[in-house]
Chain A
């Protein structure tokens, strides 16, 4: 469902780590949930795409101390990741892996926006 990104003020308190990173590989994918039918040409249809477990190569930690390669979970939602996708990832604590938050993953907010917000947040 093509909703605008969640307000940063709602995401930042949840993000224990924020990293500038690139997807190295997709480790596994869940099942795509059954979605609603929609008329031809419809948009904002409330379907969800499958969850994924991916490995990120961290270029830089904007919040937290992550470095090297980390395994994270992309929950069911409005986007999919593939190797080479990059940007700012907001990560929430989760088990067994941290969970990517933000409705559009690395496209939710630009790195510059995240950096500025983290500074202003303190």
Chain B
């Protein structure tokens, strides 16, 4: 008696053995094979009786039967079937034997006659094998890795080409167990066939969870307690088809789970409960990995919030730059309360990073003050201990030609991107809301509040006017165009030696073509941190307020700090900014 482990298959084969014992002329024919295969491939969602009906459906082809069986056959049933083939007591007709050999991957299927793409076997060894019309190519796309790549549904690569026998094989780079691989044929005339999708198997344990292109998730407040959810680039996937995405509203803790459609995007009219400013934790599962949704993929926030999400006082925020406003005047970005320390390891020029706003003159000026007069900045920013800060600027007093204090109080709500991090100025270290060093973003926000909005400070300006507003001294700029190396060098040297803040600006529109590939940008302000002479050459030590980008190759750090020969400085910079 043949040892069969699968219960249904054992019962079915036992009946055939009984029949054989009663009539030694019995052979497993087509009908018997269907019964066996139904027992082999039954699943919890498609039982043996149902499968037998499908397998014996009038007109069904061998290829369709093969696909049905492959879909439900596990390793135990496959091993049982091999034992039936090799050691079974009941003889098989030649046709049945040939077909069962195909089922257990021991014989290649005949080349198809209809030219349709068919996949055979599993993907062990990273190979996809199959058949299609001779000479046709197979195009493939890994739907499981496409979301975080640039790939659209049409961004396929050629997996392989069918030989004269109709067989092909090819490998998908970085294919892992459980990946969804989408394929189609393309004939010599360029005509594409229907898509066929397989879930990769035979590659070991499925460890790749569903990827999520979190930057494609768009949230819009519908102002009725609902948030519409959309894929902001509908031609590309948010995640893999069938993946489940859980959105947890961090204000209400409500969880909403959404299943990605066949295109890896949100079903039409998908909504979440919430309002402007709400932040959602996003989790994902492909049904195998992260099934409990414990791991977070990232966070998204509904634009248009009016206040932060942390504690402390709430004060009006300066309006966004016009580029960050919708046509109807509503903001594209919302705010978040930041609770990090005012200073981390003191205060330095390198703390300052310019955000996505045209105010380079400001971080360049502020960083130059931080470099030589950190105590002035420490004195001007007062932590009120309630989530707000009072920043004291210097304003010209026309009554006496001097300066008077201008106090501006702001809270610690900063405009943030949907996927985290401040939109405008940030600090060089951590940018997380509970850790980011706050002195520079607070100073910038207060300056915007004073001048009216981020738009008011985000369309260009003069670095020395910012330095003046911090230190209360009149500016003393030098135009390089109308000067010479000696005067410029002396100006920088004197300012640095006297510990005065000093910065420099490059030429604008008319001279822009000279900057490409220099590592220095036109229409941009830089802090000057010092000077040096080595090898008979004079150098100016400069910092880009972006905190990165400098002439290549530099010192290899790409921290925006670099030494430029004075003669190059003379060509690329038009103004030295400082104060008296």
Contacts and interface: CB of A to CB of B under 8 A. Distances in A.
The yes or no verdict on A and B being binding partners is yes
Interface in B507-528: 508-509, 512-513, 515-517, 519, 521-525
Interface string A13-45: 111100000000000000010011011111111
Interface string B545-580: 010110010000010000000000000001101000
A114 to B, nearest CB: 13
Given A41-B574, A45-B523, A79-B512, A9 B546 contact: no
A49 B516 CA distance: 13
A45 B575 contact: no
Contacts of A35: 509
A38 to B, nearest CB: 5
A110 B463 CA distance: 28
Nearest to A82: B513
Interface string B432-464: 000000000000000000000000001111111
B517 A44 contact: no
Contacts of A122: 145, 148-149, 174
B506 interface: yes
B374 to A, nearest CB: 24
Given A2-B523, A12-B150, A13-B213, A44 B459 contact: yes
B360 interface: yes
Chain A: number of interface residues, binned into ranges:
35 or more
Given A14-B150, A15-B150, A79-B522, A42 B517 contact: no
Given A13-B213, A15-B150, A43 B145 contact: no
Contacts of A41: 462, 464, 477, 479, 505, 574-575, 577
A6 B515 CA distance: 19
A85 B517 contact: yes
Interface string B318-359: 000000000000000000000000000000000001111111
A43 B463 contact: yes
A98 interface: no
Nearest to A17: B150
Nearest to B577: A41
Contacts of A44: 358-361, 458-461, 523-525
Contact of B508 (A15, A45, A82): A45
Contacts, number: 140
Interface in B392-413: none
Contacts of B216: 13
A41 B525 CA distance: 10
B543 to A, nearest CB: 14
B371 interface: no
B215 A4 contact: no
B19 interface: no
Contacts of A107: 516-517, 519, 521, 549
Interface string B124-153: 000000000000000000000100111000
26 contacts: A2-B523, A3-B356, A4-B354, A4-B548, A5-B546, A6-B356, A13-B233, A13-B236, A39-B462, A43-B462, A44-B460, A44-B524, A44-B525, A45-B508, A47-B523, A49-B509, A78-B512, A79-B515, A79-B516, A82-B513, A85-B516, A86-B517, A104-B521, A107-B516, A107-B521, A121-B148
Interface of A: 1-6, 9-10, 12-16, 32, 35-36, 38-47, 49, 63, 78-82, 85-87, 104-107, 110, 121-122
Given A44-B524, A45-B358, A122-B149, 8 more contacts: A41-B477, A43-B523, A79-B515, A82-B516, A85-B516, A107-B519, A110-B552, A122-B148
Interface of B: 145, 148-150, 174, 213, 215-216, 233, 236, 353-361, 364, 419, 458-464, 477, 479, 505-506, 508-509, 512-513, 515-517, 519, 521-525, 546, 548-549, 552, 558, 574-575, 577
5 nearest A-B residue pairs (beta carbon):
A2-B524, A45-B460, A1-B358, A44-B358, A4-B546
